[in-house]
Amino acid sequence: AQSVTQLGSHVSVSEGALVLLRCNYSSSVPPYLFWYVQYPNQGLQLLLKYTSAATLVKGINGFEAEFKKSETSFHLTKPSAHMSDAAEYFCAVSEAGAGSYQLTFGKGTKLSVIP
Amino acid sequence: DGGITQSPKYLFRKEGQNVTLSCEQNLNHDAMYWYRQDPGQGLRLIYYSQIVNDFQKGDIAEGYSVSREKKESFPLTVTSAQKNPTAFYLCASSIDTLGNTIYFGEGSWLTVV
């Protein structure tokens, strides 16, 4: 069974500082991996997706994530935080099972950006 | 604009009443999903449907029911059997259930008093 662990339910960074949100997964087969962002009282918006084409995936709003199979990690980074990045971020893994892919989410990391 | 529309955004109901949340998509997606979100819990899958007239239970289906009579629509009924129904409910869809991106609606807040 697949699972996702996001280290740190809350992360605070200063505006302009590096953003690093950690995600580790467990999967018995090569998975699809996703990062979503959620602003208050809204749905989830896709930031980026890993599909095995390249280990470094670039997404929207300057975010990127690197797939490291040996570490079973898919950490999300952004070189310079902006106030508008304050939101909750979810890592998710999709793995084939019983004829369909099921998406499993981590519990989320809330990012605060300090001016 | 293409997208997923959930209604209502906010809903209040008395304990013991059934309530139905609407979800409509015009993306021509075959697969649709309902997730429940509680603070600090992430998203948990309630039901999903791979095609019209077919649906499967997710991880927390007890106390919920769905139907998929039309490709565009996937309503969720929260029944009185659901012990803790107060939550944020998210509807989603994807082209299929073979690893393609899942797109989300704006969510519905249900408060049971």
CA distance A87 to A93: 20
Digit-coded pLDDT (tens) for B57-96? 999 999 999 999 999 999 999 998 888 999 999 999 998 8
B-chain CB neighbours of A46 within 8 Å are 101, 103
Closest CA to B99 of A11, A71, A92: A92
- Predicted confidence at residue B41, as pLDDT, reads 83
The dihedral sign for the CA sequence B29, A43, B21, B42: positive
What count of other Cβ atoms lies within 10 Å of the Cβ of residue B45? 20
A46 Cα to chain B: minimum distance (Å): 7
Q: Chain centroid to CA B71: how far?
A: 14
Residue type (1 letter), A96: A
Nearest to B41 among A94, A100, A107 (CB): A107
Residues in chain A: 115
A63 — pLDDT class (breaks 50, 70, 90): very high
Q: Each residue of B33-62: pLDDT tens digit?
A: 999 999 888 899 999 999 999 999 999 999
Q: Which residue has the tokens 């893994």?
A: A93
Query: What pairing do the DSSP bridges indicate for beta strands A10-14 and A109-114?
Result: parallel
- Comparing CB atoms, the residue among A44, A46, A100 nearest residue B50 is A100
Name the phi and psi angles at B87, rounded to 5: -175, 175
Test B42 with A106 for CB contact under 8 angstroms. Answer: yes
Per-residue model confidence (pLDDT) at position A103: 84
